[in-house]
Amino acid sequence: MQSTPHKQVDVSHEEERLFVTQSFLPPLEEYQAMVAQIWESGRLTNNGPFLKQFEASLRAFCSNELVNAVNNGTIALQIMIEALGVEGEVITTPFSYVATSSSLKWQNCQPVFADIDPNTYNLDPAKIESCITENTTAILATHVFGSPCDVEAIGAIAEKHGLILMYDAAHAFGVSYKGRPLVNYGHASILSFHATKLFHSIEGGAIITNKKEHFDRCVYMRNFGHHGEEAFQGKGINGKLSEFHAAMGVLNFKYLDQIMLPRKQAWLFYYDSFNEDSRVKLQHVLDDTVQNHSYFSLLFDNESQMLKVREALHKENVFPRRYFYPSLNTLPYANASCPVAEDIASRILCIPIHSSIELESQEKVVSIIRRELS
Ligand SMILES: *Cc1c(COP(=O)(O)O)cnc(C)c1O
């Protein structure tokens, strides 16, 4: 029925290198057939048929009609911030990829960093209220490694203070919380479909809203504000996803099980290997979460131990990543103290996980780490 995914050929003859992730590649012939269709239609971008198909799949997958696909997760953040009319101070997390706070800065908002929860690594609801001033208009929190923020507590704070609530759900594709897709909490969320993410369209992203008015604004904004050929509806930017990218997204949806299921197996192997090892700590995930197993993090006792483990892994061609380091409150445009985030950022490491990782490679990773800790 379906052909098997394309196996990457090792042309290097070097010892295989294991990276923190590896992009899923669907069967090349199937992508080529889609490219042939693009050739035939002559439509390369501008809301073409693959974009429409990709968006239809995303809407069904997110159980939400108000989803807009765009050309990357960072533009998704910027359009979301703009479309929801966010300005002034925005309370955000210091423990995320830099795009979360740099896109606030890019939009002329002031990121105000509240500290994180030491177990979930997500924005700590108890730290938010003391950061609220008369200039605060919004909260932007990240579901770190796809693990849900305390959306109920944060939602209650946002409501009490009349704040706009946005989530950076770049890691949270396919996650649900209390039976509901996580991207549907808050006023709006974004996804990233970058090649290094769980589910990708090479480059790509989406904005998920819960108000038709916000959705419509995103539709105009991602296309320069065009309202027909000669009229404009407010300001815009170029956030369009090309047909080549949308086609990859459409095709990867077909292989979703082959992307997600092996990853869960791989995640469970690491979990079983480290869950009872008191020398490392695993991320806490709220009950009632259906996870996507996109990352596997290990928190070490201190930075030097983490660095020792990383060096040993590097020596054996294993390349974990320090997600996320440095803590964003220490960036040049920030000046806040977030002791919990700075501490976690200094000693956390994400180890390799992807849909075609071999058990043997995982065993190697586990044994190197155990050896270095003993
Ligand atoms: C990857 C990522 C982004 C940016 O997405 P791009 O598609 O690479 O622009 C934003 N936020 C977080 C948390 C990410 O991990």
Burial 253-283 (b: 16+ CB within 10 A, else e): bebbebbbebbeebbebbeebbeeeeebbeb
Q: Which residue type is seen at 260?
A: M
Quick one: pLDDT at residue 7? 54
Ligand 1: which atom is nearest the Cα of residue 203?
7
First to last CA, the chain: 48
Which of these is catalytic: 197, 211, 240, 281?
A: 197
Q: Residue 99 C-alpha to ligand 1 middle, in angstroms?
A: 6
Using CB distances shorter than 6 Å, the residues near ligand 1 are: 72-74, 96-97, 99-100, 142, 168, 170-171, 192, 194, 205
Tokens coding 28: 């090349």
Q: Residue 297 C-alpha to ligand 1 middle, in angstroms?
A: 17
Quick one: pLDDT at residue 8? 56
Name every residue whose Cβ is closer than 8 Å to that of residue 242 and which is 6 or more positions away in sequence: 44, 45, 71
Question: Could you give the CA distance from residue 76 to residue 221 in angstroms, rounded to a whole number?
Answer: 10
CA distances from 363 to 24, 99, 263, 352 (A): 21, 33, 15, 11
Quick one: pLDDT at residue 358? 96
Q: Ligand 1, from 77, 192, 196: best to mutate by most atoms within 8 Å of Cβ?
A: 192
Q: Residue 294 C-alpha to ligand 1 middle, in angstroms?
A: 13
Q: Tens-digit pLDDT profile for the chain (374 aa)?
A: 445 555 555 555 456 899 999 999 999 999 999 999 999 999 999 999 999 999 999 999 999 999 999 999 999 999 999 999 999 999 999 999 999 999 999 999 999 999 999 999 999 999 999 999 999 999 999 999 999 999 999 999 999 999 999 999 999 999 999 999 999 999 999 999 999 999 999 999 999 999 999 999 999 999 999 998 899 999 999 999 999 999 999 999 999 999 999 999 999 999 999 999 999 999 999 999 999 999 999 999 999 999 999 999 999 999 999 999 999 999 998 889 999 999 999 999 999 999 999 999 999 999 999 999 98
Give yes or no: 315 in active site.
no
Q: Ligand 1, from 96, 97, 191: best to mutate by most atoms within 8 Å of Cβ?
A: 97
pTM: 0.95
Closest-CA residue, ligand 1 atom 2, reads 170
Q: Residue 372 C-alpha to ligand 1 middle, in angstroms?
A: 32
Q: Ligand 1, from 74, 123, 183, 202: best to mutate by most atoms within 8 Å of Cβ?
A: 74
Among residues 238, 207, 234, 212, which one has the least CA distance to residue 76? 207
Q: Residue 97 C-alpha to ligand 1 middle, in angstroms?
A: 6
R_g (Cα) of the chain, nearest Å: 21
249: left (phi over 0), alpha (psi -120 to 50) or beta: alpha
